[in-house]
Structure 1
Amino acid sequence: MKIHSVKFNFIMNFIMSASSIVFPLITFPYISRVLMATGNGKVATASAVITYFNMFASLGIPTYGIRACAKVRDDKEKLSKTVQELLIINSITMFLTCIVFVVTVALVPEFAAEKELYIINGIGMVLNMFAITWLYNALEQYAYITVCNMVVKLLSLVLMFLLVHNPEDYIVYGGITVFASSASYVFNFVYATKFVSFKKSETYDFRIHIKPILRFFAMAAATSVYTNLDVVMLRFMQGNTEVGYYNAAIKVKTILVTLITSLGTVLLPRLSYYVKKEKTEDFYRMIGKAVNFVVVAGLPLTIYFMLYASESIQFLAGDGYQGAVVPMIILMPTVLLIGMSNITGIQILTPQNQEQKVLNSIVCGAVADFLLNLVLIPKMASSGAALATVIAELVVLLVQCVYLKEILKDIMRDVSGVKIGAAIVVATIGGSLVKGLLDLESSGWSMEIQSFVMLAISACVFFGIYGVVLLMTKEKLVWEIVGNYIEKK
């Protein structure tokens, strides 16, 4: 089995992450205008609800499976046994969850009113058991995952334009989103026979998995509180329209977070492997690069989209979504916060079997988010949910930093704080000048075209200045990338 370099894996995962950016840029402007805020809110609510059931069905296997399989990936027999054990556990929990799901949809009036939408999402939940993406991540088979992901997204895009034409088509759109997320799972399962055997093992040992799986499940449960509960609480306390506004703001944040955390997805199996082989120097060298990447990439994205939140929402969602602008501005710091906590929690603590500390941090964040949602949503609606999310993410990061305070001192020395800060200040001034001096209102163009032109020009100016300043000050990461490019030439 060929294991590619981290650079190759990052490129493959980056392509997949980029597709997660490009496709929403194509689909969301269309869907938001067709379904409007209310229809969007219904689909977003169903998606948030099914996330909870999916969490119980899969327990902590999606994350634990990466670590467990990465540690035995050099032994096909042990790897096959591990995969079989995890699949058996998953099938049992999936069956029990499906029973609870059907009963819940039947008994809760709000869910029963949209039972077709919830049943479609339930089918996606069942198919998720066959995804076994945790195996492919552990084996670092990112080329296959990327190709599969791209094909399904293209098919989903075609289906969306063919079948979704009016607000009543929100159920059809819900089905397409399920197809986009789960269509490749059966192929994943069949293709897995290339790496593992599904012939029954002589003996199974489920006990070794139960404790860590439950810990990862607790982490997933706590994380879901402040990543999905806000949508559910917003729906019951303020209605579908506010969920539609919030979903528009969340969409932008999710796209950016996917881009920033793409490196972390690639590094987890490799870092787990380094821990198993006691390659401490390689472990911390890679962590240092990850931190530098998150700061260099995450900070400018956060600042830029706070400056141009109104134009971003206008371009992506169109008229009728200005209620999403303030929530988006409030949410933007989470791009950097999640990027950093992804390193401290998933890349440092998890590979070293310290997921209990990650769980502690997430529980603190979940409690903070729940309490703040109760207080802020009635007063501030979607903006309150956004503020609660930001504070929750900050709490998670701070708790993890307390656990890692000695290690972080050394790692943060690799971050060129002054150089990055200077570049951000100059870029922000340039970006603000573009917004102040560029007058497009007299152009006669539609608001969408004005927003697009403004975003295109301001992005070139902002990120162009940012990159030039980093090059002029010879920032470590950027200079290394440029140096490698020049050497290849």
Structure 2
Amino acid sequence: MKSIKRNFLYNVLLNISSVIFPLITAPYVSRVLEPDGIGIYNFANTYAGYFALVALLGIPTYGVREVSKLRDDKEGISTLVSQIMSIAAFTTIGVTIAYIASLLFVNQLTENFLIFLLAGFLVYLAPFKINWYYQGLEEFGYITFRTLVIRTASVISLFVFVRNKEDLIIYVLISVLAAVLTDIWNYIKMRRSGIRPRLTTKGLKPHMRPLLTLFASSIAISIYGVLDTLMLGFIKGYEEVGFYTNAMNMSKVILTAVTSLSIVAVPRVSYYMQNKDYSGINSLMDKSFSVVSLLSFPAAIGLICVSPSFVPLFFGELFWGSILPLMILSLLIIAIGLNNLTGVQILIGMGFDKFFLYSVIIGAISNFLLNCLLIPFYGSVGASIASVAAETIILVATTLFVYKNTPIRISNWKDILKALIGALILIPLMILLKQFLQGWVLVISYVLLGVLTFCVMEYILKNGSFIWICSTVSDKFRMKTK
């Protein structure tokens, strides 16, 4: 069985790249394509992503759980992969037809037909999106290596070929090629490992009920994860989409570091559940909650403090409209970070898919109603408020479901409180620095001093999770230097 520590470190490395690459490309792309270009690109990706979501029927989550259960049974995994990919192939045919038809008959899409046609590769190749297979086997080393190679190639291509606003098509094409290469690489590696999926109609029925439950959850999640961007585009135009998506993407860049542990822990929770090891689940959850709190609290508060100075410097003067949305969306770092534990790790990891679905539906309805009320008047700011409210409602619902229906209890509240105390110190730090510094000097000084201040505080407070992470990184470094 793969080490949780090792997988966590692989995901930290992967997610550091998720932070670094956008930090390298976003300032350039935002200035070259401007708010309208950024808005069209993100709107097209979001629209195609919605159809891809339907084509995949909840497979990305279901596949991780089912593969992890059969990790020691190669023949069983081979059969499972064939069945799951066959289901995806059948649904993708119908969804692709619907997608192409929408491009032909919806005027706003027809105006940018080629962009939406290219973005549609997210839909056309849905059956080959098999990252769930490698996550289920805990092959996070491979996932990290593959992603770093393709991201590096994409960044180089971006700076070489995207030169002005008219190169939007090229930017879309680079993004599409990166996704296609990922799918091809995954498939070739899987076949070389002896798993050779075949199209089949046998044994599909038992998968449909749990898949449809997870699919319903995915659709509900998409209402507040995707519909906000679509509603902004149709109601307020591409410029507001540009403001909102830049703010959302920046908050997600920070969020990826927080969700590292959630990704690597889901297969382990499923494995513990299969063996009725509730003490193992409780121990893992205690550690997960304290680590996520340690990462999410300072990240959210720090981003709120630095946003007014950071946004115009990073995205350019045309993106002042992203400042308030980013400050609001910073709270998603905490809400989604904790939600990945209560919802993804616990409820889905332990097989309580219906409870997760109910929670998501409650949040999705709330988000849709808030979007309808707020977007027409407040645009990207309204969409930001709706997103944070929805995620908070889901967090409350999943927490209640966990406490009422599982034996899981969080006991490590002291470390969580210590993380909050350390994070709150960052507010007066920014107020102080603003009196003496400005521009990039202010932003960089705040980040460096903020990290240092927080680490010192957690060391003084003897936060167990902070000490665990430090020892894990130290052990890994010593192993590499031997």
Q: What is the TM-score of this pair, normalised by structure 2?
A: 0.95
Q: How do residues 409-448 of structure 1 correspond to structure 2 at under 5 angstroms?
A: 410-438=409-437, 440=438
Does the CA-based 8 Å contact 2:78-2:195 persist in structure 1?
A: yes
Partner residue in 2 for 1:77 = 75
Partner residue in 2 for 1:215 = 213
Q: How do residues 47-196 of structure 1 correspond to structure 2 at under 5 angstroms?
A: 47-196=45-194
- Aligned to 2:125, what secondary structure does the other structure show? helix
Does the CA-based 8 Å contact 2:88-2:126 persist in structure 1?
A: no
Partner residue in 2 for 1:471 = 459
After superposition, the Cα gap between the structure-2 partners of 1:100 and 1:10, relative to the gap in structure 1 and judged at 3 Å, is: same
- Aligned to 1:278, what secondary structure does the other structure show? coil
Instruction: Kindly state the Cα deviation for residue 200 of structure 1 after the two structures are TM-superposed.
Output: 5.5
Partner residue in 2 for 1:229 = 227
How much identity, in percent, do the aligned residues show?
30
Q: How do residues 375-394 of structure 1 correspond to structure 2 at under 5 angstroms?
A: 375-394=373-392
Give the letter for the 1:457 counterpart: S
The yes-or-no answer on 1:337 pairing with 2:325 is: no
- Aligned to 1:410, what secondary structure does the other structure show? coil
- Aligned to 2:462, what secondary structure does the other structure show? coil
- Aligned to 2:174, what secondary structure does the other structure show? helix
Give the letter for the 1:87 counterpart: M
Give the letter for the 1:159 counterpart: S
Does the CA-based 8 Å contact 2:5-2:472 persist in structure 1?
A: no
Instruction: Kindly state the Cα deviation for residue 457 of structure 1 after the two structures are TM-superposed.
Output: 0.4
Distance 2:151 2:473 in 1: 31
Does the CA-based 8 Å contact 2:282-2:409 persist in structure 1?
A: no
Does the CA-based 8 Å contact 1:357-1:403 persist in structure 2?
A: yes
Instruction: Determine which of 441, 446, 456 is the counterpart of 1:458.
Output: 446
Q: Which runs of 5+ in 1 are unaligned?
A: 441-449
| More off after superposition, 367-376 vs 308-317 | 308-317
Does the CA-based 8 Å contact 1:131-1:182 persist in structure 2?
A: no
Instruction: Kindly state the Cα deviation for residue 266 of structure 1 after the two structures are TM-superposed.
Output: 0.8
Distance 1:486 1:463 in 2: 18
Q: Which runs of 5+ in 2 are unaligned?
A: none
Does the CA-based 8 Å contact 2:418-2:458 persist in structure 1?
A: yes
Give the letter for the 2:217 counterpart: M
After superposition, the Cα gap between the structure-2 partners of 1:12 and 1:361, relative to the gap in structure 1 and judged at 3 Å, is: same
Instruction: Kindly state the Cα deviation for residue 378 of structure 1 after the two structures are TM-superposed.
Output: 1.2
Instruction: Determine which of 203, 206, 216 is the counterpart of 2:204.
Output: 206
| More off after superposition, 345-354 vs 274-283 | 274-283
- Aligned to 2:435, what secondary structure does the other structure show? helix
Give the letter for the 1:336 counterpart: I
Distance 2:200 2:297 in 1: 52
Instruction: Kindly state the Cα deviation for residue 420 of structure 1 after the two structures are TM-superposed.
Output: 2.3
Instruction: Kindly state the Cα deviation for residue 127 of structure 1 after the two structures are TM-superposed.
Output: 2.5
Distance 1:181 1:114 in 2: 21
- Aligned to 2:83, what secondary structure does the other structure show? helix
Does the CA-based 8 Å contact 1:81-1:204 persist in structure 2?
A: no
Partner residue in 2 for 1:323 = 321
Q: Deviations over 1:121-154 (max 9, x none)?
A: 1123223421311000000111111111111111
Q: Deviations over 1:338-392 (max 9, x none)?
A: 0001000110011211011111111111111111011101111110000010100
After superposition, the Cα gap between the structure-2 partners of 1:343 and 1:265, relative to the gap in structure 1 and judged at 3 Å, is: same
Distance 1:20 1:227 in 2: 19
Matched length: 476
Instruction: Kindly state the Cα deviation for residue 314 of structure 1 after the two structures are TM-superposed.
Output: 1.9
Instruction: Determine which of 298, 301, 304 is the counterpart of 2:299.
Output: 301
Q: Deviations over 1:218-242 (max 9, x none)?
A: 1111111101111110111111111
After superposition, the Cα gap between the structure-2 partners of 1:402 and 1:197, relative to the gap in structure 1 and judged at 3 Å, is: same
Partner residue in 2 for 1:447 = none
Q: Deviations over 1:138-180 (max 9, x none)?
A: 0011111111111111111111111111111112111112223
Distance 2:263 2:253 in 1: 15
Instruction: Kindly state the Cα deviation for residue 409 of structure 1 after the two structures are TM-superposed.
Output: 8.2
| More off after superposition, 424-433 vs 259-268 | 424-433
Does the CA-based 8 Å contact 1:435-1:458 persist in structure 2?
A: no
Does the CA-based 8 Å contact 2:86-2:201 persist in structure 1?
A: no
Does the CA-based 8 Å contact 2:32-2:163 persist in structure 1?
A: yes
After superposition, the Cα gap between the structure-2 partners of 1:469 and 1:209, relative to the gap in structure 1 and judged at 3 Å, is: same
Does the CA-based 8 Å contact 2:52-2:122 persist in structure 1?
A: no
Distance 2:174 2:275 in 1: 43
- Aligned to 1:404, what secondary structure does the other structure show? helix
Give the letter for the 2:235 counterpart: M
Does the CA-based 8 Å contact 1:159-1:176 persist in structure 2?
A: yes
